[in-house]
A and B are shown apart, each in its own frame.
Chain A
C-alpha cells in the first residue's frame, strides 16, 4: 500500500521528541538578537508523534530493495554483505562520540586506528602512502587530479590534458573537468582493453596523466598495464588508477607493481561498508613516494609510540574535507580488514572471481559477452538481440525486479550496446546465482513470447514504471501543502 508523505500525517500540536527542560535562567532571544536577525515563524516541519515516525519510516523502508533483503548485482558497485559487526564497532562511544578538535592525547586509539588503516591499505595496494580524507570515490579522483596538477607544477610546467578510456566511469571525466583539465577520450581496442597505438597517438606533450580503471568496467584486467605505464612515464605523464574494482585484485596483484602512480579506493565497495542508499562512502587515495608530499593535510603521524596530526606541509594540495574524512566509514573498513585478515580477504577475492565467472558461464549461452575472456569480479552482457522483439535492457532490468532481484547496472559501459553489467560479489551463494540466472533466462523467453509483459514491468512493486520524462519536464522537488490528494491506493496530483 502507498504510504503518505510524513507531512500528510502531520497533526497540529503533535510532538515526537521532548527535550530536557532548561536548567539555566531564561534568556529571551528577543532581548539578545536584533529583531531583523530572528525568524518570525517556526520552520513548518511536520508535527507527528514518535510512533507515527516509527510506522512511517518502517513502512517506507519496506519499499526498498537492499543488500540485506535482495540480491543486488549492481556492476561496479560491489554490493557485498555489510557485516553487522562493523556497525557495532563504529557505534562504540569511543569512536562515534569524538570531537575532531579534541587534543591528540584524548584520541590516541582513534589515531592509531587511522594510522594502521593507512598502513594496511599501503600493504594491500603496494602504494607508498595514503590519505583517508576523501569522502567518496569521486572526491578521491578529484584529490588525485589535484595531486597530478601539483606534480607537474612542481616540474615547472602546465599540462592540461587527461586521457580517459571510453569505458570509464562517468566520474572520471567529470572529476577531470572539475579540476580544470581537458579530457581526451581513448577508444578501446577490439578486446575491450586500452589500445596501445591509440594511446601513443593521443599521448601529446600536454598529457598530464592517464586515468584508467583496472580491472576495467568490462571486468577485464588490463594485461598491458606495465607497458602502458612505461609509455606514460617516458613522457613524465602519470598513471591514475580508479580503484573502484579493487575487489578483483586483493591477493592477486598490486597496483604499486603495475606502475600505477596514484589511485583511489572505494571502501564502500571493496571493504564492505554499507552504501546507505547513496553514501556515506570513503575514497582514500594512495600514492607512490614521489607524490607523497602533495597529499592533503592534515596527515596522521607516529612519533615514538604516540600519534598526532600534522597540519602543515608546504607542497600539499590542501584540504578536501572539513575534518579528517568519513571516519565512521573508515572504522567499519578497518574492522572488516582486521576481521577477514590475510586469508579471509584472499578467499573473498577468489570467491568473488569464481562467482562472476560462474554466472557468466551460466548466462553466456543466451546472452553474448561482447568482450569475452575470463572476467575478474564482474562482466558485461549485451541484450541487443532482444531489440528485434522490442525489448530493451531497461525493460529486462525492470522485469528482474518482479522476480525479486535488484537490477544490474544498465546501459553501462557505454561501449556495449544494451549492456547489463553484473557483479555478484563473493557473499552470494551458488543457489542465489542459480536462481538469478534462471530468472534472466526466463525473462529472455518472456521477451520473445510475451514482450508486453517485459515492457510493462514491473508489476509487483509498490508503483509501476515511473514517468521520468514528466519528472524532468515538470520538476517537483519538494512538497507543498495542498498539492496532492492522498489515497491508500496511490495518490494523484491535484490539478
Chain B
C-alpha cells in the first residue's frame, strides 16, 4: 500500500505534460554516482498483516491496563474520558498543521486560546503559551528564558527536581556560559537554608518542583520569597492534577511555571508524546518561547483568533528568536482542553481529592508492614517514598511483585545512591482499593 492514488497511466500522462520521457529524466539533477535506487527495507504489508504485526508486538508488552502499577515519577496514569478520544480523533483536529492561515484554522486557534485560558486559570498565572514538547524541555526553556531576561549567569536547581528534567536543562545549556548549581535536599525537601546561602545577585533563577520528585510538598512560598529578595526569577515545575487541591504557582509568586501536561487527557504512551505546559507573568510576555494564540477582530469587526507576537519566533526572527521551537504538541493541548472543560472546577477538585485519599490509604497500609518505613516525614499528594530495612533486597521484592501482576514503585538507587533501599510510589484514581490491599498482602508474604 502506498496511499498514492495516481495510476501508472496517469503518471505517464503527467510525465508527458512535464515534457520528459521518463521518471529518471526528472531526477537527472541528482548526480549518478549518488544514486541508490533501492531501499533496504522489507516488502510492504497489507492492512490486515500490519494489524497482526502491530498486535503481536503490542502483546509482548504488559500494558498498564492488565496490571496494578504503582509507577509515577513524572509519568502518571489517569482516566481519559471517552469524549476526549472521540473528539480528538476527528480528522479536522488531527490532520491540519500550525494555523498559519488563521481564517481557515479558526477551530485550532480558538481551541488554543481556550487552552491558554484554562492553563492560566489552573496555574493562576498571567499567560500560557500553546505548548512546548514536554515537561523537561519546558524546564530547560524556562532556564534559557531566565538567562536572557536577567542577563545573569547562574541557575540554581533543587536536587529534588526530577533528575531527567535536570539532565535536559544541562544538555540545553551545555556550551553556554551559564553555571548550573544544585541545591541539596534534607529530609525530602529542598534545603532552604542552603538555597538562601547560594542566592546571590548573579542568580538568574531558582528551579523547584511541587510536589517534588520524592512526592513531598515543598514550602514554595518561602522559596519564592528568598529568590525574589535578590531579584532572581522563581521557576516552578508542577503536577497539573495536584492543582485541584494545591496552591497554584501564581499564588506563591512563581515568575515562570511549567509542567508535564500529558496527564490531562492523554495516555502515558511510554512517556511520549508529552505536553509541555509553559506559563509566565505578563512582564515576560514578549520574551516567552513558543506559539501564542491571540484574540483580535476581522475586517467586519467580528471576534477571531490568530497566532500573535510572532516576531519572537524562529520563522521571523531566525537566529534572534526566543527559541527554536516550531512544531509543538498541539494535538495533546487540544486533548487537555477538552479534558479540563469536561472536568470543570468541581471535577478537578474531586479528582485531586481522590488521588490524595487513595495515596494516603496506600501508604498507611504499606506502613503496616514491619520492614517498610516512611523515608521522609513530610506532607504529600499522591506520591510518597518508602524505605525497606537493610536486610531486604528491593530488587527481589519487586520481582516477586511482578510475578503477582504488580509493578512496584520506582527504585531510587540509580538516581539517589544514598536512597538505595528506597522507592517512589504513586497512586492515582485509576488504582483500586482492591489492588492496594492485594499489594500489601503480596508484600507481607514476600519477605
Contacts and interface: CB of A to CB of B under 8 A. Distances in A.
A138 interface: yes
Contact of A355 (B6, B13, B31, B107): B6
Contacts of A426: 2-4
Given A38-B247, A252-B30, A398-B101, A44 B361 contact: no
Interface in B409-441: 410, 414, 429, 432-434, 436
- Give the interface centre of B107, B271, B272 by most chain A CB atoms within 10 Å: B272
Top 5 A-B pairs, shortest CB-CB distance: A323-B271, A94-B58, A341-B44, A490-B302, A68-B91
Interface stretch (A15-23, A232-240, A383-391, A438-446): A15-23
Contacts of A23: 432-434
Contact of B1 (A15, A328, A339, A373): A339
Given A94-B58, A99-B268, A220-B29, A491 B104 contact: no
Contacts of B338: 53, 57
Contacts of A397: 101
Given A85-B47, A317-B174, A398-B101, A67 B353 contact: no
A141 B324 contact: yes
A275 B61 contact: no
A478 B116 contact: yes
Interface string B333-360: 0100110111111111111111011101
Contacts of B317: 170, 174
A321 B104 contact: no
B269 A64 contact: no
Contacts of A250: 39
A138 B326 contact: yes
**Chain B interface extent, by class:** 35 or more
Contacts of B106: 60, 63-64, 461-463
Nearest to B310: A472
Contacts of A63: 105-107, 110
B446 interface: no
Interface in A388-419: 397-398, 401, 406-407, 409, 412
Given A321-B168, A322-B74, A329-B273, A98 B61 contact: yes
B38 A353 contact: no
A348 B2 CA distance: 6
Interface string A93-128: 111111111110111111011000000100110100
Given A178-B323, A274-B95, A109 B1 contact: no
Interface string B184-211: 0000000000000000000000000000
Contact of A68 (B26, B95, B309): B95
Contacts of A340: 1-3, 44
Contacts of B91: 66-69
A465 B356 CA distance: 49
B366 to A, nearest CB: 13
Contact of B272 (A39, A48, A327): A327
Interface string A240-252: 0000000000111
Nearest to B74: A322
Contacts of B23: 350, 353-354
A343 B136 CA distance: 39
A463 B103 contact: yes
A323 B164 contact: yes
Contacts of B75: 99-101, 323
**Chain A interface extent, by class:** 35 or more
A32 interface: yes
A330 to B, nearest CB: 8
Given A253-B35, A328-B273, A5 B110 contact: yes
A38 to B, nearest CB: 6
A38 B245 contact: yes
Interface in A152-174: 169-171, 173-174
A115 to B, nearest CB: 11
A277 B96 CA distance: 5
A373 B337 CA distance: 46
A270 B19 CA distance: 27
B318 A53 contact: no
A48 B342 contact: yes
14 contacts: A7-B114, A17-B344, A44-B345, A48-B342, A53-B83, A63-B106, A66-B93, A97-B77, A360-B18, A361-B18, A426-B2, A467-B296, A477-B128, A477-B295
A99 B120 CA distance: 28
Nearest to B320: A177
B294 A476 contact: yes
Contacts of B69: 99, 102
Given A39-B248, A92-B55, A136-B325, A322 B135 contact: yes
A321 B136 contact: yes
Given A26-B357, A343-B43, A466 B306 contact: yes
Interface stretch (B149-157, B285-293, B368-376, B386-394): B285-293
B379 A32 contact: yes
A100 B335 CA distance: 21
A311 interface: yes
A327 B274 CA distance: 9
Interface string A312-323: 000001111111
A32 B356 contact: yes
Given A33-B379, A328-B273, A466-B298, A27 B356 contact: yes
